[in-house]
Amino acid sequence: MKKFFLIIAVALSFASANVLAQNNNGGDVRYIKSPRFARPLIEKWIEEYAKTEPGVTFQIAKGASADAALNVVVDGQSDEANTVYFGKTAVLPITARGSEADRLLGGKHLSSRKLKQVFFVSDEEEDERPSKQFESLVVYSGSNATSAANAFARNLGEEASSFRGKRIAGDDLFLNTAIAKDAYGVSFNTLSNIFDLNSRRVKKELSLVGLDVKRDVADDFGNEGSLDNVLAALESGRVGGIAVERVGIAYENGDVAVLKFLQWVLTQGTQFNHAFGLLNPDNAEDGARQLTAQK
Amino acid sequence: MEKKLFVLLVAAVSPLLAIAQNIITGRVVEQGINEPLIGATVLVKNEKGKGVVTDIDGNFSLPTKQEAPLTIVVQFVGYRSQEIDVYDFEEPVEIQLVDNSSRLDEIVVVGYGTQKRTQLTGSVTTVKADIFEKISVPTLDGALSGQVAGLNVTASSGQPGADSQIRIRGGNSVNASNEPLYVIDGFIYFKDAANATTGIGGLGSSLNPLSTVNPNDIESIEVLKDVSATAIYGSRGANGVIIVTTKKGRKEAGASSINYSYGLGVSTVSKKLDLLNASEWAQFQKTYFSNKGGYTDAEIAALGEGTDWQDAVLRTAVQQTHELSVSGGSEKSRYAFSANYTDQDGIVLNTNFQRYNFHTNVDWELRKNFNFGINATFGRSRQDVLTTLDGLQSASSTSPFSAGITNSFVYALLMPPVISVYNADGSYNFKNPYEYAYFAIGDHMANPVYDLEESVAENINNYLLSNVWTTYKVGPVTLKATVGLSSEKLTQNLFAGAYTSLGMATEGIGGNGNRQTDIWQQEYTATFDKDLNANNHLDALVGYTYQHTESTYSIILTNHFTNESLKQYNLGDGANIYTPETGISESRLHSIIGRLNYSLLNRYNLTATFRADRSSRFSAGHEWGQFPSLGLSWNVDKESFFANVQRIDYLKVRASVGLVGNQEIPDAAYLGTYSTGSYAGSSSYSSGNASNDNLNWESTLNYNVGFDLGLLHNRVNIVADAYYKKTYDLLFVVPLGISSTVSRQLQNVGNVVNKGFELSIDGSIIKRRSVRWTAAANIAHNLNELTDMGSSKDLIYGDDNQQILSKGEPVGTFYGLEFDGIVQSNEDVTQLPKVNGNVPSPGDVKYVDHNGDGKIDGYDRTFLGSTQPKLTYGLSTQFTWRNFDASVAFAGSVGNRVYNALGRRLEQTGDSYNVLSTVLGSWTAENGGNRLPLASTTRPFSHIDSRYVQDASYLKLRNVSVGYRVPLPKDGFIRGLKVSISAANVLTFTNYKGYDPEVASGTDDGVYPASRSVSFGVNVSL
């Protein structure tokens, strides 16, 4: 009996130690911290990079790890000197498909002004008084530093602090969950959180809020549009007024393995951007040159 | 063995237990400005536990056993609480709370407690601390001007550190004090003029009693105006009450805050008088007088500007302040400490105000429901002022400071501009051939620059104001005991050497006065505060208070100095010693207080107050006074019939009635008094006030009705009040007949009535996230009337007999002849009333013969207006755009008059002194003129006339300030950095001809001129 307890104790001790060990940045493992919209892409990179550099292991950091060597950030979240931008993400407004909010906004093509009315506290006064048309809608926005809330607000000339409605804490992916629970919920998200990366269509539980875009691309920005068409339209510059932010990786200078990985990302890794819902960067070559200089 | 195994098991699984506890981290900031909110509460909804509070940077770390998704609740007083759904714990949460403070949610400090503004029945105006961020002043009264409807602040002079006259809804009394009562952190603090001086005299100004309070220590000021609010102060509430609450720390762990600010500014005189220059003056002398200087026309032209004596005694003054404050606390205690240094030069030579002030506010929760606290202020103020003859003991009648020349600054204005300040070798010039009367001893004449530079007139006050309190809470009852001490040691030093104006007649005069004033206060109260049920709230207070005041003083004064090098520190050198004076005065005030606040449905509110005072200032049988009041208010907006009224968000109507008193007369004034002196080498006594065993309280019956109105979602707030105050049994100094052995007696005689209305409007004009614009305006009208004087006849008073107390007229009414122009060359002088028995000649002044007896004399005098303004008003606005802020404040008054004695003196022509340039427009046969008579050495008529009782209505741009908050990294060492620039007393619009229309006494006999200043400030928060 006593031996049994001893075995259990030792086993549990090992198990817990293993769990905690993830936070230790020891050996040749480099952890990458990323919001979920970019995680599938990062995982793809890790897989592909491992084929060319088997000696160094990169892993996605899980939990609230502060020891990640690399951090996926959106524009303005980190020191520019130690950040390389590998792509861009677009942010679109959404509702839960079939919800009351979807019905209210269905068939509408909202201009920037209307979007501001729906999502933000009136500029005229601080008391939260949305325009009557959208009074019943409940806006859900993220409150994490990596949330697309900042990009969405900035694009409309607003601040993230000015969102109406409710805040959630957690990855933006949970915005989809939040609006699914509220018939009047309306939110926004990045393309990779909105589209099914396999079918390339809008996730069946979500509905895109119609935007005031040119007629020739209007269908692409509807529920029947495809991710690839949206990406193509955005990259071609045919669509304006959509929140698009650069996505990059912040790193600490001095780790050659990290710099080498980032150089690979900028030269090889970006070919997977579209597959995982990200736009290509404007100047990946500049970033690669920056890294070469630092090595 | 099993125990060991258990321990081993626990040790083994403990890492797992640790990670089984989720941790939510984040930061709470204020929306819009992103400043961290320290002490905000964060808790998991529906989870038992206390939650956590944010630290100094607004950060929090909240452990929870619940799994995501869960909801956290963030709360902070004054902010809209927020619920946030947490779906994972990976990233820190950034939470922005919206400021939800509304004036209507305010908790207002009232006498011996606090109350919700919605339940107030009285008229109480709150002035928040941020006013002192915009208006940089060394004392709090300087910032109140124009801020509160019905509160009129009049600066006594431009002297740094000087006090102001404050009147709330007009003055009730004639001879007793009209100053409001101050309550500083619970300590009752009356601005007793008698305690602001040692009695030595000779000093042109005394220290502002409020200089003991550093404005930057103040959290809020409540102005209690009507009787429902003031009756709890009974015999001291008649003039209104100003409650000052100082800043406290915060009862949260790690909530420390360090703040340093520095201010540097310069001041210049806000207006100069236009005096004759050397050429003009010499020409004037040659034209009208004997041309003592013997100047030819060519020499006169060459004189040019000559010496500008006004410039010679004025200067650009520098002021600076350093301010360090530290505050913080733990779960069971909080503290606030501040140190302040102010050094403010005056714009007149050798004048200054300097203060070191230390303040602390600490309290502890010693046991559950048992608290203990201390607040204390310690400091030293020093003020260098002008010398004056006023009040100087046994001053020689031959002293130069007479004949309307009150001090060396005024004498400088009179100096002939052909006289230089210095000799060619740089020494002071004491030669002035034009001076032969007042300021000359032999061949040596006074030089006002020397006077100012070398004379000593200083007030030094070392003070301690402290309160120690403890509270114990038993259910809804809170017991409180407070013991406080205000201890002030005032020293006044005076020295005027043999070459100075003041010391000239006595070959130097010097003195030293000391006054020690100790006020002990004890208060014991019990408060019952409870929501009896959902509809009834009761708050009841009973208590006993006691205040004992003792003031001792001593004065030593000598003259005839042979060695002036040590000035007032070697008074023994003075060969002639005045009779030393020492004295003591003592008073006691026992009080029983009671108050009942009852609120039904948060809609109908009642306040009943009672205070009984027993004052030693009245004789046996008249010591007790009872002061009851009743206040009612009705929150009309909460009635069901009001539900459909769309445009009004808040409406409360108020009414109150009650009785308050005034005991602010000298101690033992009911007794006969004698003062000591010397006569023929022996001591002597002279009688003063006659005894009056029937002396009683001065009482003020007070009615008030008003309403509070909130419009446009309470973005516009209006407060209006109308009041009627009748003060009866006035404490009145009555002259006795010549058959009496004493000249005067303090009696209860007559009534004064004040009635008026007040209106305040404040609004939020723009309330966007990045732009805010607020404005506030107030206006008040007060009609003051002396309605009864008992058996007394009209009483004329003042140095020039310029004022009168007369039934049916306001207190402070001016009395004099009515100016009727100048006799012109072609005028039929036989039709004019005679003056001094003579028929007026062309160029003489004409007066209105009011009694029609054909001659001008004292019986033709009439009422010429009063010092009481008909309207006072204020307007202020604040604008914030992103990191910039700006504020502007105006204040004004309409209808008050000032006797411009200085102007009268400076338009009196002669062959000794300089005059105003208006004198060049004096009547001449060739050019006419209808204001000033033909220039001559004739002294003005003994009675004042309406030319010099001038309209002192004004509109002042009191303050303009602009600030910029420098953006800083969120997690940096420096949490806040703000730079600002402000200007004070920027513009004055007035018809008044003197330096400044604000003259507290109503008689401008050459008061220290007002200044305009520009200051730069920097504020750093850590």
SS (H, E, C) B435-468: CCCCCEECCEECCHHHHHHHCEEEEEEEEEEEEE
Q: What is the mean pLDDT of chain A?
A: 81
pLDDT class of B845 with cuts at 50, 70, 90: very high
Range of the domain at A63: 26-88+245-294
pLDDT confidence bin for B176, thresholds 50/70/90: confident
Q: Per the CB < 8 Å rule, is A16 touching B12?
A: yes
Site from B5, B27, B30, B712 to mutate, A interface, most A CB atoms within 10 angstroms: B5
B-interface mutation test, from A138, A143, A171, most B Cβ less than 10 A away: A143
- Of the candidates A6, A10, A174, the beta carbon closest to that of B87 is on A174
Residue B880 has pLDDT above 70, yes or no: yes
Which element (helix H / strand E) includes B74? Answer: strand B70-75
The C-alpha atoms of residue B514 and residue A15 are separated, in whole angstroms, by: 82
B629 or B680: which carries more pLDDT confidence? B629
Length of chain A: 295
- Please indicate if any CB of chain A lies within 8 Å of the CB of B98: yes
Q: In the structure, what pLDDT confidence band is assigned to residue B829 with cuts at 50, 70 and 90?
A: very high
pLDDT of the residue at B739: 55
Mean pLDDT lowest among B185-194, B875-884, B894-903, B958-967: B185-194
Contacts of B826 (CB under 8 A, 6+ apart): none
Mean pLDDT for B826-852 is 92
pLDDT tens for A156-174 read 888 787 788 888 888 899 9
pLDDT, average across residues A220-235: 91
Choose from A114-118, B637-641, B930-934 the range with maximum mean pLDDT: B930-934
CB–CB of B15 and A13 under 8 A?
yes
Subunit contact B15:A19, Cβ cutoff 8 A: yes
Q: Which residue has the higher pLDDT, B98 or B185?
A: B185
Range with the poorest average pLDDT among B298-302, B317-321, B678-682, B840-844: B678-682
Per-residue model confidence (pLDDT) at position B940: 72
B283 Cβ contact partners less than 8 Å away, ≥ 6 residues apart: B300
Mean of pLDDT values over B154-163? 88
SS3 A124: coil
User: For position B541, what pLDDT does the model report?
Assistant: 97
pLDDT at A289: 62
Please give the Cα distance from B901 to B910 (Å, whole number).
17
Confirm or reject contact between A7 and chain B (CB < 8 A).
no
Check residue B501 and give its pLDDT: 86
Average pLDDT, whole number, for chain B? 89
Binned at pLDDT 50, 70 and 90, residue A292 comes out as: low
Q: Which residue of B has its CA nearest to A167?
A: B84
Chain segment A123-156, per-residue pLDDT in tens: 554 444 555 667 788 999 988 877 889 889 988 8
Best mutation target among A16, A22, A120, A147 (most B Cβ atoms within 10 Å) is A16
A12: nearest CB among B12, B72, B713: B12
Residues from chain A contacting residue B25 (CB–CB below 8 Å): 64
Q: What does A41-91 look like in DSSP terms, one character per residue? A: HHHHHHHHHHHH-TTSEEEE--SS-S--SEEEEETTSS-GGGEEEEEEEEE
pLDDT (mean) for B277-306: 94
**Contact assignment for A177 to B715 by CB distance below 8 Å:** no
SS (H, E, C) B988-1000: EEECCCCCCCCCC
Per-residue pLDDT tens over the stretch B217-269:
999 999 999 999 999 999 999 999 999 999 998 876 666 889 999 999 999 99
Q: Tell whether the model's pLDDT for residue B741 goes beyond 70.
A: no
Whole-number pLDDT of residue A295: 56
What is the reported pLDDT for B939?
72
Q: What is the mean pLDDT of residues A224-234?
A: 92
Closest residue in chain A to residue B95, using alpha carbons only = A143
Q: Which residues pair with B436 in a beta bridge?
A: none
* C-beta atoms surrounding B1022 within 10 Å: 14
Find which of B192-201, B691-700, B803-812 is predicted with most confidence, using mean pLDDT. B803-812
> Count of A–B CB contacts within 8 Å?
120
CA distance B249 to B490: 32
Closest CA to A250 of A286, A291, A283: A291
Would A179 be classed as within a structural domain?
no
Q: Do A169 and B23 touch (CB under 8 A)?
A: no
Query: Is B13 within 8 Å of A121 when comparing Cβ atoms?
Result: no
Judge whether B635 and B625 are in contact, CB under 8 Å: no
* Pairwise CA distance, residues B702 & B660, whole Å: 8
| Mean pLDDT value across residues B612-633 | 93
pLDDT band, residue B212 (cuts 50/70/90): confident
pLDDT band at B18 (very low <50, low <70, confident <90, very high): very low
Residue A3 has pLDDT above 70, yes or no: no
| Chain B hits for A124, Cβ within 8 Å | 768
Which of chain B's residues have a Cβ under 8 Å away from the Cβ of A159? 769
pLDDT at B738 over 80: no
Q: What is the pTM of this model?
A: 0.78
Q: Which residues of A touch B711 (CB under 8 A)?
A: none
Residue B366 pLDDT greater than 70, yes or no: yes
Q: What is the arithmetic mean of pLDDT over A51-79?
A: 77
Query: Looking at chain A, which residue has its C-alpha nearest residue B80?
Result: A127
Average pLDDT on A6-29 reads 45
At A4 the pLDDT is 45
CA distance B320 to B345: 9
User: Which pLDDT belongs to residue B17?
Assistant: 44
The enclosing domain of A262 has a CATH number of: 3.40.190.10
Over range B493-517, report the average pLDDT: 92
Which pLDDT does position B852 carry in this prediction?
94
From the list A121, A145, A167, the residue facing B91 with the nearest CB is A145
B80 reaches A (C-beta below 8 A): no
Question: Can you spell out the DSSP letters for B811-872?
Answer: TTEEEEBPEEEE--TTS-GGGSPEETTB---TTSEEE--TT-SSEESGGG-EEEEESS-SEE
CB contacts of A2 in chain B (<8 Å) are 1-2, 5
Q: Which residues of B792-821 are buried (b: 16+ CB within 10 A; e: fewer)?
A: beebeebebebbbbbeebbbbbbbbbbbbe
Query: Which residues of chain B neighbour A5 with C-beta distances below 8 Å?
Result: 5, 8-9
B23, B84, B92 ranked by CB distance to A168: nearest: B84
- Between the CA atoms of B732, B738, B741 and B745, what dihedral angle is there, to the nearest 10 degrees? 0
- What mean pLDDT do residues B927-955 have? 90
Confirm or reject contact between A79 and chain B (CB < 8 A).
Answer: no
Is A17 at the interface with chain B, CB within 8 A?
yes
Q: What is the CA radius of gyration of chain B?
A: 33
Is pLDDT at B11 greater than 60 in this prediction? Answer: no
Partner B contacted by A171 (CB < 8 A):
yes
**ipTM, 2 dp:** 0.79
Helix (H, G, I), strand (E, B) or coil at B946: helix
CB contact under 8 A, B89 and A121: no
| Confidence bin at B404 (pLDDT 50/70/90) | low
User: What is the location of CATH 2.60.40.1120 in chain B?
Assistant: 19-99
Decide if A125 touches B, using CB distance below 8 A. Answer: yes
Three-state secondary structure call for residue B597: strand
Which residues have CB under 8 Å from B946's CB, separation 6+?
B816, B817, B818, B819, B864
Specify the number of domains making up chain A: 1
Rounded CA separation B616/B590 (Å): 9
What local confidence, expressed as pLDDT, does residue A80 receive? 63
- pLDDT score for B395: 47
Closest residue, chain A, to B30 (C-alpha): A161
Q: pLDDT grade, residue A78 (50/70/90)?
A: low
CATH class assigned to B19-99: mainly beta
Judge: B769–A161 Cβ closer than 8 Å, yes or no: yes
Q: Report the percentage of chain B scoring pLDDT > 70.
A: 93
Residue B429: pLDDT over 70: yes
**Residues of chain B contacting A145 with CB distance shorter than 8 Å:** 91-92, 94
Contact at CB, B768 and A177, closer than 8 angstroms:
no
Residue A73 lies in a domain: yes
What is the gyration radius of the CA atoms in chain A, in angstroms? 21
Mean pLDDT for the stretch of residues B729-743: 71
**Region B466-474 average pLDDT:** 96
Predicted confidence (pLDDT) at residue B481 exceeds the cutoff of 70? yes
Asked if residue A262 belongs to a domain, the reply is yes
Nearest CA in chain A to B81: A166
pLDDT score for B4: 53
A28 contacts chain B (CB < 8 A): no
Token duo for residue B963: 């600030």
Contact partners, residue B632, CB within 8 Å, separation at least 6 = B121, B604, B605, B606, B607, B654, B655, B656
Q: Are B663 and B727 in contact (CB under 8 A)?
A: no
What count of other Cβ atoms lies within 10 Å of the Cβ of residue B608? 19
Q: What pLDDT does residue A8 have?
A: 46
Average pLDDT on B776-780 reads 96
In this predicted model, what pLDDT tens digit does every residue of B111-139 receive, in sequence order? Answer: 999 998 889 999 999 998 888 877 778 88
**Is A284 within 8 Å of chain B by CB?**
no
Chain A interface, mutation test: which of B61, B66, B87, most A Cβ atoms within 10 Å? B87
pLDDT at B495: 95
Q: What percent of chain B has pLDDT over 90?
A: 60
Q: Does A101 touch chain B (CB under 8 A)?
A: no
- How many residues in chain B? 1022
Q: Partners of B445 in the beta sheet?
A: B440
User: How many CB atoms are closer than 10 A to CB B546?
Assistant: 15
Classified as helix, coil or strand, B232 is helix
Test A166 with B8 for CB contact under 8 angstroms: no
Q: Please give the pLDDT value at position B769.
A: 66
Q: What is the pLDDT of residue A293?
A: 59
Q: Is A294 on the interface with B (CB under 8 A)?
A: no
- Phi, psi dihedrals of residue B380, rounded to the nearest 5°: -145, 125
- Confidence check: pLDDT of B393 > 60: no
- 3-state DSSP call for residue B138? coil
CA dist., res. B803 & res. B1002, Å (int) = 10
Max avg pLDDT among A107-116, B89-98, B360-369: B360-369
Spacing of C-alpha A25 from chain mean position: 25
Q: Verify whether the Cβ–Cβ distance A161 to B96 is below 8 Å.
A: yes
